[in-house]
């Protein structure tokens, strides 16, 4: 064995060209496989700082069966009391708090949680305890939990922090526990307050608000599907029981892990599977390539091998020898691949494929852990077996021994063995074709998504967020005054084109506000019809600042104040749903909410659809804009500033303008609109970039493979070519002979690849956007591309064949 | 028909030295001649034949073919002259393994300007003439050595050359099979074909009209 290895090493060193090409190809595919697997591992497999994550589920309220919302307490109570699928469940609501008493005022992300929310997740505090049932009761003690990183940052990890006060929103809370490192559910919470309410005694309107997140742990043996079916049935009961609140709502249960990825539609899973498929294909191409190299080299060694057999080596012994060589190659390739992966993995993590913000320390830092290492090892060994077995068996074959010895390398590689090379290269081309078509479709979908009309101009926009504390701005006119003053100041800054405020920044990754509405004078054709719109409360210049397109009427202006006619600006989609085929200007509609009445609002303007909602990026959802001055609310104030040039240059000036009005007012999430947007298509960008890279690598490997096979075939056919020239073949005949052979292989590969791609791309349908899985343009473009690459790969060998000297070729006579 | 004057062929030995394979060759071969080139291994016989066959052009001196100064021709012109006038038979037969007998015969025609029907007719004639019609769909490996060389000769003359060059055509054959081929050569020569063959056997040489002896690159 040791001898085999030593000899194998010597052989690899003897043909460094072959060895380098083979190791490079192996490194590329093992590296790609390992890197993608590390992403899969980090996102889907690795344990997270909650107990047994894979039994935890999350429920999404769905309106009209597709439009996702947070959950309500009505649902929570019903699921808790009626369902039999769960061991336990709990709710939490994301909030943020103004933190004072520590240096500068700071906005911190936090949550109010039920004690059972934390026990359901099975989170164990790093210090102290979590909430007790008593602390969940109305009027319970003012206690708080803090996050591990928050503890490190603000208290330097001091144990004595327990019992100390924490000042949130102007109120003091007693710290009773520190959460474990990395734990930040829901959202990216750093402080937790107990949810102190008795659900049944809350007003129905509050129970119905969809601001909550439900987490539940499945009972042993209960599958997610069963739980989903059960909750759907309960949601149907609720539709009947609370028609005014729950009509048209259903529910979908997904795994908590999927929710953490921010992946309500399961696209991350699909993208990761597509990528795993892609790297798998790349690996196959690589195996075929190295097998071909090995086979070709094996033919050249037939003499050596025949001699070894003549000297008494058994067939098994030769297979072992050849196989050892392949495995050695695989191990060297695997090690190089792993080194490549160490370099690729951080790059993949930077390309971050997920929208979720929780557990960032885990989900956004891909690492090569034991599982990934074992994967790389297994992949390398399997690769070695795949590409090594065939050449070993062929090489040690039982062919006419003495003939081989006598003929030397004259006629090495009979027609049958050549057939193997040809088949492998055809397979390689077919796989590359599949990879290229899939990559092409995914990249194009991404491009289309990127060029979706946003309805506004994202360039040169600066955005930031504020929450005006109730304690300080208890009266609505104070809030309006703050708004007006701030906008006044900011508009007058140099470099500012315009500025406005809204309640949600377009496409931001936050809870967004919606409203049900009624159209005046319209009898719903379907009694189940529920009209819902994105609800944005904006300052006069907001739409102008966004650079939204006014289709008719006017934008909201400074005269739309309290006491004047309540007005609304609607999107085209809302107009289409409310008044199909009519002019909506002057028509009236109003918001509806049980237990409250809202004034009718007159439509004064229609704007082109604006992509407001992240989760509805692929469709148009109705939006309306109502004047901040006419609608009392305690929603966040989000500032949008349009700059003349680079918006980041305005950051300091804008912050100062706000501080000048209220020095205690924290601002957060200061960023450009483009930064915000770059988060929207993360999964799509991730798969597009990687699929493109994989497809390009596949193409490269396949063309190197084709080149290798053609070059080998020319070297092998030297004497045949010499004979042909001696019989009168002109250089162009020889050229055609070789090109013909290469193109025949290419076309066969492309044809099989077309069929394979046609069936493979079916699996990608849900990842595609406005693109058919059998898009003719992509298929033909890739066919042409491969045909062209095939031509190039065959050209050099064909040229060298053309210049073969017949005397040289026939010299052994 | 052929006149060689002061033809020399050398290969670099390294360090500026030359190794002469052929030296000062003067040779006249007239139309209808049947020359046997003889000499020990390494004497330069094959080299001479490749020069005659215009496969090689790394030589110096003069080579007139039918008054054409081939040493002044461009590669392309020489190739087309060769295609028109010369056929080649190899010791190893060199039939193309993946082609049938019929297709092997067709190859030289496919490289020349023959129409489809001319090709069919010529291949048909050759199959007839060499009595191998029954073998036309067989592959070379299904034939005996003698039969393969028969096809080799048929292939060499199918495009109706004036000069047939044969490098040890019977080297791989039993003596009886060799005799067949030699008789065939004599017949072709009687019909007007000029033939230059390389051979080691006095007996084969006796089929020819004269013998050229080569030794260490010199004609002796
Ligand atoms: N391409 C070449 N490079 C160097 N030496 C060569 C080459 N071709 C032939 N020779 C040498 O020329 C000599 C004559 O070769 P050849 O004509 O094949 O001899 P033979 O008379 O046996 O047919 C031999 O010594 C051979 O080694
Ligand atoms: Mg010779």
ipTM of the complex: 0.88
Look up the CATH number of the domain holding residue B211.
Answer: 3.40.50.300
Q: Could you tell me the distance, in angstroms and rounded to a whole number, from the CA of residue B19 to the centre of ligand 1?
A: 10
Mean pLDDT of A33-56: 88
On whether the CB atoms of residues A706 and A746 are closer than 8 A, the answer is yes
Domain that holds residue B22: 2-219
Q: Is the pLDDT of residue A528 over 70?
A: no
Mean pLDDT of B161-187: 90
Residue A706's pLDDT is what? 87
On whether the CB atoms of residues A279 and A40 are closer than 8 A, the answer is no
Q: Could you tell me the distance, in angstroms and rounded to a whole number, from the CA of residue B39 to the centre of ligand 1?
A: 13
Interface residue B59 vs chain A (CB under 8 A): no
Chain A positions in Cβ-Cβ contact with residue B91 (cut-off 8 Å): 813
Helical H runs in A41-160? 73-82, 115-121, 148-155
- The torsion angles phi and psi of A197, rounded to 5 degrees, stand at -155, 155
How many independent structural domains does chain B possess?
Answer: 1
Which residue of B19, B25, B43, B44 sits with most ligand 1 atoms within 8 Å of its CB, as the best mutation to test the pocket? B44
Q: Is the pLDDT of residue A409 over 70?
A: no
What is the distance in angstroms between the Cα of A729 and the nearest Cα belonging to chain B?
5
Which residue of B17, B20, B42 sits with most ligand 1 atoms within 8 Å of its CB, as the best mutation to test the pocket? B42
Unique residue bearing structure tokens 């885990």: A362
Residue A798's pLDDT is what? 92
Q: Enumerate the domain spans of chain A.
A: 1-48+265-413, 67-260, 468-665
Beta strand ranges found along A274-331 (DSSP E): none
Unique residue bearing structure tokens 């901040």: A628
Partner-chain contact A813 B168, CB within 8 Å = yes
What is the distance in angstroms between the Cα of B83 and the nearest Cα belonging to chain A?
5
Which pLDDT band, with edges at 50, 70 and 90, does A412 fall under? very low
Closest listed ligand to the CA of B38: 1
Interface residue B65 vs chain A (CB under 8 A): no
Report the percent of chain A where pLDDT is more than 70.
95
What is the distance in angstroms between the Cα of A319 and the nearest Cα belonging to chain B?
29
Chain A positions in Cβ-Cβ contact with residue B53 (cut-off 8 Å): 726
To 5 degrees, how large is the angle CA A769–CA A775–CA A780?
140
Among the partner residues B50, B94, B110, nearest to A807 by beta-carbon distance: B50
Which pLDDT band, with edges at 50, 70 and 90, does A575 fall under? very high
CA separation (Å) from A435 to A270, A443, A622?
A: 16, 12, 38
Chain A positions in Cβ-Cβ contact with residue B85 (cut-off 8 Å): none
With 0-12 / 13-18 / 19 or more C-beta atoms within 10 angstroms meaning exposed / middle / buried, residue A695 is buried
Say how far residue A331 (Cα) sits from the centre of its chain: 32
Ligand 1 atom at shortest distance from the alpha carbon of B44: 17
Interface residue B91 vs chain A (CB under 8 A): yes
pLDDT tens sequence across A297-321: 777 677 777 777 777 777 788 788 8
Chain B positions in Cβ-Cβ contact with residue A726 (cut-off 8 Å): 53, 55, 88, 90, 94
Interface residue B85 vs chain A (CB under 8 A): no
Residue A525's pLDDT is what? 64
Mean pLDDT of A784-797: 91
Q: Is the pLDDT of residue B87 over 50?
A: yes
Residue of B37, B57, B59, B88 to mutate when probing chain A, most A C-beta within 10 A: B88
Ligand 1 atom at shortest distance from the alpha carbon of A813: 18
Partner-chain contact A727 B56, CB within 8 Å = no
Measuring CA to CA, which residue among A388, A204, A203, A199 is closest to residue A298? A388
Residue A239's pLDDT is what? 87
Residue A408's pLDDT is what? 36
On whether the CB atoms of residues B214 and B45 are closer than 8 A, the answer is yes
Partner-chain contact B107 A810, CB within 8 Å = no
- In sequence order, the 6+-apart residues with CB closer than 8 A to the CB of A205 are A593, A594, A595, A596
Chain A positions in Cβ-Cβ contact with residue B90 (cut-off 8 Å): 723, 726, 810, 813
Two tokens, residue A154: 């603000």
Rounded to the nearest 10 degrees, the angle between the axes of helix A718-726 and helix A731-760 is 130
Partner-chain contact A728 B98, CB within 8 Å = no
Among the partner residues B96, B111, B168, nearest to A733 by beta-carbon distance: B111
Q: Is the pLDDT of residue A497 over 90?
A: yes
Measuring CA to CA, which residue among A644, A522, A529, A500 is closest to residue A582? A522
Q: Is the pLDDT of residue A402 over 50?
A: no
CA dihedral defined by A738, A741, A743, A746, rounded to 10 degrees? Answer: -130
The torsion region of residue B6 among left (phi > 0), alpha (psi -120 to 50) and beta comes to left
pLDDT tens sequence across A58-67: 988 887 767 7
Residue A394's pLDDT is what? 74
Q: Is the pLDDT of residue A406 over 50?
A: no
Mean pLDDT of A595-622: 87
Instruction: For residue A643, give the 3-state DSSP assignment.
Output: strand
CA separation (Å) from A634 to A468, A479, A628?
A: 8, 9, 11
Interface residue B11 vs chain A (CB under 8 A): no
Interface residue B145 vs chain A (CB under 8 A): no
Which pLDDT band, with edges at 50, 70 and 90, does A414 fall under? low
Which pLDDT band, with edges at 50, 70 and 90, does A217 fall under? very high
- The closest residue, in CA terms, to atom 12 on ligand 1 is B21
Which pLDDT band, with edges at 50, 70 and 90, does A272 fall under? confident
Q: Is the pLDDT of residue A71 over 50?
A: yes
With 0-12 / 13-18 / 19 or more C-beta atoms within 10 angstroms meaning exposed / middle / buried, residue A793 is buried
Q: Is the pLDDT of residue A636 over 90?
A: no
Show the ligand 1 pocket: residues with CB < 6 angstroms: A 811; B 11, 21, 39, 41-47
d(CA A591, CA A71): 20
Q: Is the pLDDT of residue B119 over 90?
A: yes
Residue A529's pLDDT is what? 66
Residues in chain B: 220
Helix H or strand E segment including A500: strand A496-502
Report the percent of chain B where pLDDT is more than 70.
100
HEC string of A747-790 equals: HHHHHHHHHHHHHHHHHHHHHCCCCCCCCHHHHHHHHHHHHHHH
pLDDT tens sequence across A549-563: 999 999 999 899 888
Partner-chain contact B111 A727, CB within 8 Å = yes
Q: Could you tell me the distance, in angstroms and rounded to a whole number, from the CA of residue B47 to the centre of ligand 2?
A: 7
- The closest residue, in CA terms, to atom 19 on ligand 1 is B42
């Amino acid at each position: 064995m040791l001898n085999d290895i030593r000899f194998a090493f010597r052989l690899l060193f003897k043909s460094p060209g072959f060895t380098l090409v083979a190791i490079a190809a192996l490194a590329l595919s093992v590296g790609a496989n390992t890197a993608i697997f590390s992403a899969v591992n980090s996102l889907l497999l690795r344990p997270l700082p909650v107990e047994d994550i894979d039994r935890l589920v999350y429920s999404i309220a769905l309106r009209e069966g597709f439009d996702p919302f947070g959950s309500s307490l009505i649902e929570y109570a019903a699921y808790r009391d009626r369902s039999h699928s769960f061991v336990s469940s709990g709710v939490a609501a994301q909030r943020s708090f103004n933190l004072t008493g520590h240096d500068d005022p700071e906005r911190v992300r936090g949550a109010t949680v039920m004690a059972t929310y934390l026990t359901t997740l099975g989170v164990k505090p790093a210090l102290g305890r979590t909430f007790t049932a008593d602390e969940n009761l109305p009027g319970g003690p003012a206690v708080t939990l803090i996050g591990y990183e928050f503890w490190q940052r603000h208290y330097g990890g001091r144990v004595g922090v327990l019992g100390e006060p924490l000042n949130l929103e102007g109120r003091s809370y007693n710290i009773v526990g520190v959460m474990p490192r990395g734990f930040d559910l829901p959202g990216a919470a750093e402080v937790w307050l107990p949810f102190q309410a008795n659900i049944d005694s809350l007003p129905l309107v509050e129970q119905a608000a969809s601001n909550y997140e439900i987490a539940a742990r499945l009972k042993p043996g209960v599958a997610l599907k069963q739980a989903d079916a059960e909750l759907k049935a309960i949601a149907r009961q609720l539709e009947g029981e609370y028609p005014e609140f729950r009509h048209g709502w259903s529910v979908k249960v997904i795994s908590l892990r999927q929710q953490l990825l921010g992946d309500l539609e399961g696209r991350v899973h699909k993208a990761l599977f597509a990528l795993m498929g892609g790297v798998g294909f790349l690996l196959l191409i690589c195996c075929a390539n190295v097998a071909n190299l090995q086979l070709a080299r094996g033919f050249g060694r037939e003499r050596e091998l025949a001699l070894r057999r003549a000297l008494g080596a058994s067939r098994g012994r030769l297979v072992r020898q050849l196989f050892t060589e392949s495995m050695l190659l695989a191990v060297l390739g695997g090690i190089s691949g792993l080194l490549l992966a160490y370099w690729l993995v951080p790059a993949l993590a930077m390309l971050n494929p997920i929208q979720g913000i929780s557990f960032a320390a885990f989900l956004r830092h891909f690492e090569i852990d034991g599982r990934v290492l074992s994967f790389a090892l297994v992949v390398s060994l399997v690769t070695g077996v795949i590409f090594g077995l065939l050449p070993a068996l062929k090489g040690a074959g039982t062919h006419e021994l003495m003939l081989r010895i006598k003929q030397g390398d004259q006629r090495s590689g009979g027609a049958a063995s050549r057939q193997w090379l040809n088949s492998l290269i055809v397979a390689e081309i077919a796989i590359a074709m599949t990879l290229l078509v899939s990559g092409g479709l995914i990249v194009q979908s991404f491009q289309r998504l990127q060029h979706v009309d946003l309805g506004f101009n994202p360039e040169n926009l600066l955005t930031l967020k504020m929450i005006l504390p109730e304690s300080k701005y208890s009266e609505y006119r104070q809030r309006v005054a703050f708004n007006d003053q701030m906008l006044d100041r900011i508009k007058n800054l140099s470099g500012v084109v315009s500025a406005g405020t809204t309640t949600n920044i377009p496409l931001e990754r936050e809870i967004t506000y919606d409203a049900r509405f009624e159209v005046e004078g319209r009898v719903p054709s379907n009694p189940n019809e529920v009209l819902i719109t994105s609800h944005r409360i904006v300052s006069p210049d907001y739409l102008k600042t966004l650079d939204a397109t006014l289709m008719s009427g006017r934008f909201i202006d400074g005269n739309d104040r309290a006491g004047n006619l309540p007005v609304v600006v609607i999107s085209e989609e809302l107009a289409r749903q409310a008044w199909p085929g009519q002019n909506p200007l002057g028509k009236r509609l109003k918001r509806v909410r049980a237990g409250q009445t809202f004034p009718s609002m007159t439509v004064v303007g229609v704007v082109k659809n604006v992509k407001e909602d992240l989760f509805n990026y692929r469709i148009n959802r109705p939006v309306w804009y109502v004047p901040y001055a006419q609608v009392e609310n305690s929603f966040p104030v989000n500032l949008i500033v349009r700059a003349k040039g680079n918006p980041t240059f305005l950051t300091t000036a804008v912050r100062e303008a706000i501080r000048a009005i209220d020095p205690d007012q924290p601002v957060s999430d200061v960023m450009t609109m483009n930064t915000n947007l770059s988060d929207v298509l993360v999964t799509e960008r991730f798969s597009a970039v990687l699929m493109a890279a994989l497809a390009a690598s596949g193409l490269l490997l396949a063309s190197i493979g084709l080149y290798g096979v053609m070059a080998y075939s020319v070297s092998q056919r030297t004497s045949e070519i010499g004979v042909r020239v001696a019989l009168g073949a002109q250089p162009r005949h020889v050229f055609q002979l070789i090109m013909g052979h290469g193109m025949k292989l290419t076309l066969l590969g492309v044809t099989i690849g077309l069929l394979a791609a046609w069936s493979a791309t079916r699996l990608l349908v849900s990842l595609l956007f406005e693109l058919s899985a059998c898009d003719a343009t992509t298929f033909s473009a890739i066919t042409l591309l491969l045909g062209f690459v095939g031509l190039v790969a065959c050209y050099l060998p064909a040229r060298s064949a053309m210049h073969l000297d017949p005397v040289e070729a026939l010299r052994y006579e | 028909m052929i006149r060689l004057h002061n033809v020399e062929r050398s290969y670099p030995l390294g360090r500026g030295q030359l190794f002469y394979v052929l030296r000062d060759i003067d040779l006249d071969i007239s139309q209808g001649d049947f020359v046997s080139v003889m000499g020990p291994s390494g004497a330069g016989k094959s080299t001479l034949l490749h020069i005659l066959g215009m496969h090689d052009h790394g030589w110096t001196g003069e080579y007139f073919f039918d008054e054409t100064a081939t040493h002044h021709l461009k590669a392309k012109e020489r190739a087309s002259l060769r295609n028109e006038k010369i056929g080649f038979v190899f010791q190893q037969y060199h039939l193309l393994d993946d082609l049938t007998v019929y297709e092997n015969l067709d190859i030289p025609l496919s490289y020349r300007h023959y129409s489809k029907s001319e090709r069919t007719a010529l291949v048909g004639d050759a199959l007839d003439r060499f009595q191998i019609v029954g073998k036309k769909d067989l592959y070379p490996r299904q034939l005996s050595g003698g039969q393969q060389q028969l096809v080799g000769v048929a292939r060499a003359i199918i495009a109706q050359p004036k000069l047939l060059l044969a490098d040890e055509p019977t080297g791989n054959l039993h003596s009886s099979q060799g005799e067949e081929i030699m008789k065939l050569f004599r017949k072709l020569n009687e019909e007007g074909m000029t033939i230059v063959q390389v051979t080691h056997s006095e007996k084969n040489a006796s089929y020819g009209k004269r013998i050229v002896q080569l030794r260490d690159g010199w004609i002796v």
